[in-house]
Structure formats: structure tokens, C-alpha cells
Amino acid sequence: TLASASSSSDSDTGGASPPPRKKHRASAAEGVGDNNLSGNMQANGAGQGQESSELSCLNSAQNGESSSAGGTHSNGLLSSTDSGNIVGTSNGSSVAPCSGTSTASGSDVGSLKKKKRLSQAEEDVIRLIGQHLNGLGLNQTVDLLMQESGCRLEHPSATKFRNHVMEGEWDKAENDLNELRALMHSPNAIVVGSCFLNLYLRMKFLLLQQKYLEYLEDGKVLEALQVLRGELTPLKYNTDRIHVLSGYLMCSHAEDLRAKAEWEGKGTASRCRLLDKLQTYLPPSVMLPPRRLHTLLRQAVELQRDRCLYHNTKLDNNLDSVSLLLDHVCSRKQFPCYTQQILTEHCNEVWFCKFSNDGTKLATGSKDTTVIIWQVDPENHQLKLLRTLEGHAYGVSYLAWSPDDTYLIACGPDDCSELWLWNVQTGELRTKMCRSHEDSLTSVAWYPDGKRFVTGGQRGQFYQCDLDGKMSDPWEGVRVQCLWCLSDGGTVLASDTHQRIRGYNFEDLTDRNIVQEDHPIMSFTVSKNGRLALLNVATQGVHLWDLQDRVLVRKYQGVTQGFYTIHSCFGGHNEDFIASGSEDHKVYIWHRRGELPIAELTGHTRTVNCVSWNPAIPGLMASASDDGTVRVWGPAPLVDSQDADGLNESCSNMDS
């Protein structure tokens, strides 16, 4: 019971009662120990009497420092006194023996040890919370938290160092740094051995650099010069930076100095930034890294987003944009796997579709000899027919937008020797190219400058051309299946009939092997950063290659790929997703890091030849099929979101 918790009669029962959560005001007859405890709790808001002494005696030392009887600020070493005996805290040094003022029996002490001792993880959490509260200005709350827990926020030497830096007392801060130097040898230090000296010099250099800049801003040129010559230069550290600093002596006024040094100026902002840098070099047992709790929470949110199969929105590192009370989960209904629109204007097989680079238009090419340009409504994402480009006698099997979306090039199937260059804005045909009726121009790729492109086919043609259709620098003997120009402006990737992708440079006429497959590469596309290539391989499916390391990263499962030319694509924010058509009439979607599909989209009735993901609207995707339709995919309709799973066009969930 509460009344008998501290009674000496507990020892007669063979076991101690648990310590009370709240003590009633005790009478004088109940013992001096209870009076001390009650009085201290009333005065300080936390137990600093016998129970606190017992708790402090139980906690282990961490940094080898002794406490003082007066008690330091809570950001340093907390201490309490009991009958004149100095008591350390959990992060303090070896602790003086507890006095015998407690009325509890030995078994009571054992119970208290078992129940009250904090684990290292618990102490870490308390320190993280304390640092966060301190950043919010809740200093009294931090004081109480540290007192009740017996922890300390940081080492007292670190607290002095922090205060002196923020107050601009540079000589004292330098002395504090010398004190901290010994603590940097602790087992928790982030560096050891020869790195330690360089680390110490780095910290001292940053400190003196701030001192130097503040002297300059205050117009104390002689003092600044003394710091530069007498303190910074003798360090023999980062001499290049010292030369830059010496140039600041020529600044005519403070604004000029701040601009050239890219420095906030003397005051709280620049000193806080300095402290953030210095903290990263100290062991966490001495001083926590800046905003550590915020960093951990942000990492947790990012990890949950990375593991979310359907996360398809722009990453926002601001924690205010998310709830920390619930795990991050994106619904499949927010993902583009529901038929939003069916375009039926083509009257034959649709072989290709491609969104423009700005996402405002969609181009579709068909066996019916036409190219249709569709306008994307920015509000409801519905597509409307903008114009039809006619006259492609062999049909249209490939389309390529210029980098600025002004032009569109259309190519035909294997027996087509013609290439059309259209002005999309006016609908006029700028160039029609046909070098020889024996040519086969089935693929094309734009250079990043938008002034040139390359084209080729399986009959051995491989040309570099300008906007007027002038062909130059033919590369003989390359039977091209698919083309892509890298962002370096010089390298052209070409898949050929030897089941490989090679890199060609038309400037210096060099080539090199990059990818080698065991089966024909029917088509490929490259990620925006030029690092990854997505291949549709005959009888194998979709393969992901790392072009820089020249290794096969992943083989995606589920898709049916024979010897038809099927075009896949990257998509979503940060291109985290991959989509491909299939000969089984479906569209398959994978997360880039997983081999199994996360969605199978049904609705087409024949082979799906091409899939294109809108680069500006991550929730919009289009697919072209031999059934003569183009399907536009989007999230579940808001009105019917509760019944979206019952839509005729189903989206199979493959979360497993």
C-alpha cells in the first residue's frame, strides 16, 4: 500500500513493496527520510532526496567526469546532494557512496535497481527528446526531464563550448575545444588513430575562421590579420582556404564580405551553422549531432516511402507534410491502374504511343497510316484529339518527340524506307526522308540539342541527320533494331541483330560494347539520368541493365514476350516504376526494385504493343494495342472510389 511503502516493517515480509508513484505528506513520526523527500519534491518538482540519491547511485558513469555539489545546468552534468555526499548522474563519473538516510531495506534497494535502471537505448531516447525540446525553447521542461531521468543532455564541457561559441567568446571556446580533445579519444568517437589530429585541426580551423570573419565585419582589421597570421596559418591546415580568407581583407564593406564569403554575418545564424558543423566531429556521448531526432524521423519516413509499393508522389522531406502517428501507406486506388478513357479513333492496329516531354500531348501511331496528336487536359487529364497527321503509307511503328516538343518524327515497319519529320505546332510536314527504296528506317533518336537525330534499320542503314533531312556520317554495316542518344551529346546507343547494345560516337568514329544478351533485343529505353536501360528481350521478357557498370540488374517476371516488338517504359516520380505491354493482352507494372508485378491491367483484347507513362503527370499512363484502341490509365474515379475494385477493367493486386 502507499502508506506502508517506506515503512521498515517491509523487511519482515521477506520482500519489498514497489516504491509509491505519489507520496502523501508525511508526519514527523514517519522519519526524516520521508520529510526530506517530500520537501524536495515540493521545492523542485522532482525527487532530489533519498529516492533520487538511490537512483543516481544506480546509474553507470559514461565519460569519466565528476559532478559538483552545486549542480550544473541541465544541458551539462546534473547532480544532487544528500547529507553532503556528492551524487553523480547516469552519464557522470564514479559516484560517491549513498548515505544511509534511506529507511528502505536492502530488498527495497534491489527492487529499485531492477525497476528503475535505464537501458542505454532508453537513455538515448531521453537525450533525443531533450535535444528536440531544447530546440523548441522548452528549457524548463528539459531541466525537469534530465533531473527525473538522471540523464544529461550532453557533456558539461560541450555545454561550455556551445555557450562560448554562441556568445562569441572565442578564446574561451578554444580552451573548451582543448578540453573536448581528450574526450574525442573515447570508444564512442567517430574517428580513431591518425584521423584524430586532422579532425581536431579541422574543428579549430572552423572556429578561428569564424573569429576572423567577425573581426573583419566589425572593421577590426588588425585583430583579423593577427588571427590570420598568428593562429590560422601556424595550423598548416587547408592552405588554399587560408589564401581565400586573406583575400577578404580587401573587402570595402561588410556587405561585400558577406557576399564574397557566402556567410550570414556575425550573429546567431552563422554561429548556429558553425556549431552544426562542429557537432558532427564530436562523439554522440559528448554532444548529439544536430537535430538528431528530426533526422531519425525523416529517415524513417523515407524508408517507409521506399518500401511502399504504390508511392507515386513527389518526395517531401518536410515532416510537417506527413503524419508521424501512422505508418505511410499508399492505396492502390491512387495508382494509374484503372481505365480512365478509351481512344478509338484509329481504325487498325495501334503500334506505338508516346507522351511529349512536357506531358501535355500524346502521339499515337497506327497501321492505318496515321499519327494522331492528343491534347492532355491539365485539370481532368482527359485526352482530346488535336490533329491527325496522314500519309504514312507503310503505317507508323515508332515515334520520337524532339527535346522541346516542337517536332515529331515518325518511322514505319521493317519494309519502310521513309521517315517523316512533322512540325507539331502547325501540323506541317517539314521533311520527308527517303535515301533509297532499299533502306529500312525503323527507329530514330534525337540528340539533346534538338538540331540533329540518328536513324537506322535492320538492313544496315545507320545515319546522322539534320532537320532538313541531310544525311551525313553513315555508319556502315550496323543492323539497327532500336536507338537512343545519351545526354552527353555524343554517344548513340544502338541495339542490333547480334543481341547486343553498343555505343557509337559519330564525332570520333569510335564504338564499344555495352550490353550483351543471349536473345534478340526487340526494343529498349533509357532512364532520364542515363544510368539504367530497360530491354524487351525476345522469349525472355523485360530486363533491367546498369549501363555504367554493364551488369544485368533484374529480370521482371509475368510478362509474355515472344518475337513481337513490344515497348516498355520507366514511369512515376523518380522513375520508380516500370510498365510493359504483353502478348497476353495485359499491361504489367513493377516497382523497379521488385521482380514480381505489383499490378496487371486488363481491358485490351489483343497484344499490347507499347506503354507510355506521362513524365509530368505521374498518375497518367497510356497503352496501345493491336485491338485498335489506346487506353488511358489513371487512379480510381473519386466518385466511385469505394467501389473501384468492381470496375469492369480490373487491376489485379500483386502485393505479395
- Integer Cα distance of 306 and 521 in angstroms: 30
At 343 the pLDDT is: 97
DSSP state of 561: -
The mean pLDDT value for 501-516 works out to 90
Instruction: Write the pLDDT tens digit of every residue in 205-236.
Output: 999 999 999 999 999 999 999 999 999 999 99
- The answer to whether the beta carbons of residues 371 and 422 sit under 8 Å apart is yes
* Higher-pLDDT residue of 311, 527: 527
Q: Which of 241, 285, 107, 271 is nearest to 173 (CA)?
A: 271
Buried/exposed 499-537: b ≥16 CB within 10 Å, e otherwise: bebbbbebeeeebeebbebeebbbbbbbbeebebbbbbb
The mean pLDDT value for 406-432 works out to 93
Helices (H), 184-282: 195-217, 221-227, 239-247, 254-261, 268-279
- 150, with CB counted inside 10 A (0-12, 13-18, 19+), is buried
Strand order in the sheet with 480-485: 480-485, 491-496, 500-505, 510-516
- Reported as type and span, the H/E element at residue 398 is strand 398-401
Instruction: Write the pLDDT tens digit of every residue in 364-398.
Output: 999 999 999 999 999 999 999 999 999 999 999 99
Q: Which residues have CB under 8 Å from 23's CB, separation 6+?
A: 2, 34, 37, 38, 41
- The answer to whether the beta carbons of residues 94 and 61 sit under 8 Å apart is yes
Instruction: Write the pLDDT tens digit of every residue in 304-321.
Output: 888 888 888 776 667 777
pLDDT-above-90 percentage for the chain:
56
- Integer Cα distance of 537 and 594 in angstroms: 18
Confidence of residue 596 (pLDDT cuts 50, 70, 90): very high
pLDDT at 79 over 70: no
Instruction: Write the pLDDT tens digit of every residue in 620-643.
Output: 999 999 999 999 999 988 754 444
At 282 the pLDDT is: 87
The mean pLDDT value for 492-502 works out to 93
At 472 the pLDDT is: 79
pLDDT at 341 over 50: yes
At 541 the pLDDT is: 94
User: How does the average pLDDT of the chain come out, rounded?
Assistant: 80
At 13 the pLDDT is: 38
Confidence of residue 594 (pLDDT cuts 50, 70, 90): very high
Please say whether the dihedral angle defined by the alpha carbons of residues 16, 21, 27 and 28, taken in this order, is positive or negative: positive
pLDDT at 611 over 70: yes
3-class DSSP assignment, residue 110: helix
3-class DSSP assignment, residue 230: helix
- Integer Cα distance of 270 and 312 in angstroms: 38
DSSP result, 327-364: -----GGGSS-EEEEEE---SS-EEEEEE-TTSSEEEE
DSSP state of 519: S
The mean pLDDT value for 124-148 works out to 93
- Rounded to the nearest 10 degrees, how much is the dihedral formed by the CA atoms of 343, 565, 487, 553? 110
- Integer Cα distance of 85 and 103 in angstroms: 17
- Integer Cα distance of 128 and 652 in angstroms: 44
Please say whether the dihedral angle defined by the alpha carbons of residues 167, 172, 177 and 180, taken in this order, is positive or negative: negative
pLDDT at 19 over 60: no
Strands 480-485 and 491-496: antiparallel
3-class DSSP assignment, residue 451: coil
Confidence of residue 53 (pLDDT cuts 50, 70, 90): very low
Q: Which of 495, 560, 570, 574 is nearest to 534 (CA)?
A: 570
At 185 the pLDDT is: 61
- Integer Cα distance of 557 and 589 in angstroms: 10
- Integer Cα distance of 299 and 530 in angstroms: 27
> CA geometry: angle at 192 spanning 189 and 197, to 5°?
100
Grid coordinates representing 276 are 552544426
At 182 the pLDDT is: 81
The long-range contacts involving 317-323, CB below 8 angstroms and separated by at least 24 positions, are 319/294
pLDDT at 512 over 80: yes
Confidence of residue 519 (pLDDT cuts 50, 70, 90): very high
Note the residue count of the chain.
656
